[in-house]
Structure 1
């Protein structure tokens, strides 16, 4: 009979192991609102932050702070119950109608977070005996949603359409669901959505698109990746997050009306949780107005992306091909990546080091994210510092 393991000793030893591998996660305490210039509790002077997903610079927008204040005055600060009990307010309903119209779908369902949306949708659509086909670098919430469904979980190499087609062809599952990010969060590239939809149509499969990093950035008026590609189909299920480009909080799933009705009755992460505060929905209605009218912000953001890419002169490190605000600089070694991140920090620039298991082993990177709130001068400073650090290894 094996000796029992002391879990406290095991955790202490495991923490030492992840320290040695350069994989310990640490939080930094931010002392100012989300903005390109951030105050941090662990240093006396502010830093230029290239790490948030606030792509349109709306997180600290004064008009949204005012909308939140008005929402609190109108609706209070809590919903009191789940949506299916008494926690679904008129402003939630208005937001869902507006979101569906914004992305060109029949209906939408508002969730408290994108993670809750993803782990709630897949188990409601497929189960034992069915099959989920997922891009290998999908976000962790999509992986967890697939595992919770208990369907067969079939992964295909990143954006490899031929491999996906072969797996779909070989599957005898009665229900099939293809799942993909639209913009991959650590690489910044776009999924081949038109081709994925064609495969879904050919195999009578669902296509679930997680547009966390495309909503508000891509497509006319920021209507997202489906609008960017001009896609429409009853087989499409669309998930968008509201805490990134929209600048606030939450997420939504949009699709055919019957699909949304089904999720209301079957999505456990929607049914069994307290509804998000209605003041958030009130604020999001104003955020949608700013997104829809945000072409100037998006034009400036695209100009910043182009300037960053044109200015880098890398030989040892690799800038991955991306036309989105996510600009990954792959360094490789965990310890070197951490050292470069610390060197940037010493010069007043905050870019986080991303390491396994978030990215593959040997592919540690700096995940640079750009915002419409950044200036050209701030981006130029980042570019010059990265070029110098690469030329003189830390």
Structure 2
């Protein structure tokens, strides 16, 4: 049922579920690409995409993050049988959004697309054949999520409002939040110790080298429609207080 609902949601012919997005990416490229093919991957793609591409025998090219001019250059100079462009929809470490309208895309712990592709994956995709199905509780929660998304835009609107409030509040506090206007909000701090300190009192995750480049440590905040305006205000105030304590921003006089 979930596979059918996801196909309808995306407007595709068929869908195959995996236990995780890591399995979905590990099972896709090796199954469909040969040495005669080429895959073109955004430089900031998720580790699961990178590892999935490594498993296949296709020619591999990497283009700078969201650089469509360089991507077009690489595509024009490739003589591959199949030219597959691979990008995250939203880049989880940076909060940036891919130009999906220009390059196409897919997401989640599933692959959705033409029936021929999904049939191929059901027969040869190793993570699908030799792993477990998603737990029933996950399937039920996913179906309920689709019900909520398809029945009303209220939750999405509230999430947009929370995102705007958080990003505006952090900017006013003198802190830098990277990315586009997206609920994934990486608070850029530069050095790893500051990333660890800045997460005090709020459930967020600090990332530093080697997960991200040296000098680009960050604290990743993920807003939710379940948060209230008071929750967002408390988070902004907590970040601002700690940032002043550790000298990340200047104390007001």
Cα RMSD over matched residues? 1.8
Q: C-alpha offsets along residues 205-250 of structure 1, whole Å, 9 cap, x if unaligned?
A: xxxx2xxxxxxxxxxxxxxxxxxxxxxxxxxxx33x2xxxxxxxxx
1:384 aligns to what? Answer: 237
- The 5 Å alignment of 1:226-241 reads 238-239=106-107, 241=108
1:260 aligns to what? Answer: 118
Contact between 1:314 and 1:390, CA under 8 Å: does it hold in 2? Answer: no
Cα offset, 1:189, TM superposition: 1.4
Secondary structure of the 1:265 match is helix
TM-score (norm 2): 0.90
Partners in 1 of 2:91 and 2:83 — Cα distance?
A: 22
1:366 aligns to what? Answer: 219
Contact between 2:94 and 2:178, CA under 8 Å: does it hold in 1? Answer: yes
1:117 aligns to what? Answer: 24
Choose 1 or 2 for highest CA Rg. 1
Contact between 1:326 and 1:369, CA under 8 Å: does it hold in 2? Answer: yes
2:191 aligns to what? Answer: 333
Extract unaligned runs of 5+ from structure 2: 248-253
Partners in 1 of 2:245 and 2:4 — Cα distance?
A: 54
Q: C-alpha offsets along residues 64-119 of structure 1, whole Å, 9 cap, x if unaligned?
A: xxxxxxxxxxxxxxxxxxxxxxxxxxxxxx22111101111111111111110011
1:303 aligns to what? Answer: 161
Partners in 1 of 2:82 and 2:245 — Cα distance?
A: 54
Extract unaligned runs of 5+ from structure 1: 1-93, 198-208, 210-237, 242-250
Q: Does 1:137 align with 2:44?
A: yes
Partners in 2 of 1:374 and 1:283 — Cα distance?
A: 19
Q: Which has the higher contact order (CA 8 A, sep 6+)?
A: 1
Cα offset, 1:283, TM superposition: 4.3
Secondary structure of the 2:96 match is coil
Secondary structure of the 1:311 match is helix
Measured at CA, do residues 154 and 314 of structure 1 come closer, stay the same or move farther in structure 2, by a change above 3 Å?
A: farther
- The 5 Å alignment of 1:1-394 reads 94-197=1-104, 209=105, 238-239=106-107, 241=108, 251-278=109-136, 280-312=138-170, 313-315=172-174, 317-341=175-199, 345=200, 348-393=201-246
Measured at CA, do residues 112 and 166 of structure 1 come closer, stay the same or move farther in structure 2, by a change above 3 Å?
A: same
Partners in 1 of 2:205 and 2:22 — Cα distance?
A: 21
Partners in 1 of 2:132 and 2:234 — Cα distance?
A: 44
